[in-house]
Amino acid sequence: MRKLVFLVFVIVGAGAGLLFSIKEDWGVRAVFMFFGVIAGAAVGGPVLGLGQRRRSSSPRADTLRGLGMTDEDLMDNYWRDEGHPQFMKPPSPDSKEFGGTGGMVD
């Protein structure tokens, strides 16, 4: 059904191209109709969501989601973990106090 609606957008685009060039020669009409088809496809595709990738949901991915180990979790928490897996971020060299006392003052 979605492809039929997409085809309607393409045909409407071609009709609009023909309508705009009704008093011209057939060569000009063909060019206008071609651009109408391109415009109809450019509008109809995104409106109907054609060409979008479908996310396949596997049971294993659903059980691991939220534990910090899937690609989606790493993307969601990149600002916090800086690309490392959860709880595996190496310590920052800037976190040590000067003198090596670890923050304890004599």
At 71 the pLDDT is 72
User: Residue range 72-80: average pLDDT?
Assistant: 70
Q: What is the pLDDT of residue 14?
A: 92
* Mean local confidence (pLDDT), 72-87: 68
Cα gap 86→61, rounded to integer Å: 17
Please state, in angstroms and rounded to a whole number, the distance separating the CA atoms of residues 12 and 6: 10
Determine, yes or no, domain membership for 102.
Answer: no
pLDDT digits over 13-57, tens only?
Answer: 999 999 999 888 999 999 999 999 999 999 888 888 766 666 655
Domain count along the chain: 1
Is 67 among the domain residues? Answer: no
Is residue 72 situated within a structural domain?
no
Within 8 A by CB and 6+ apart from 18, the residues are 29, 32, 33, 36
63 is a domain residue: no
Selected residue with higher pLDDT from 106 and 33: 33
Give the pLDDT of residue 83: 64
Whether 61 maps to a domain, the answer reads no
Range of the domain at 31: 2-48
Closest CA to 3 of 36, 41, 35, 37: 41
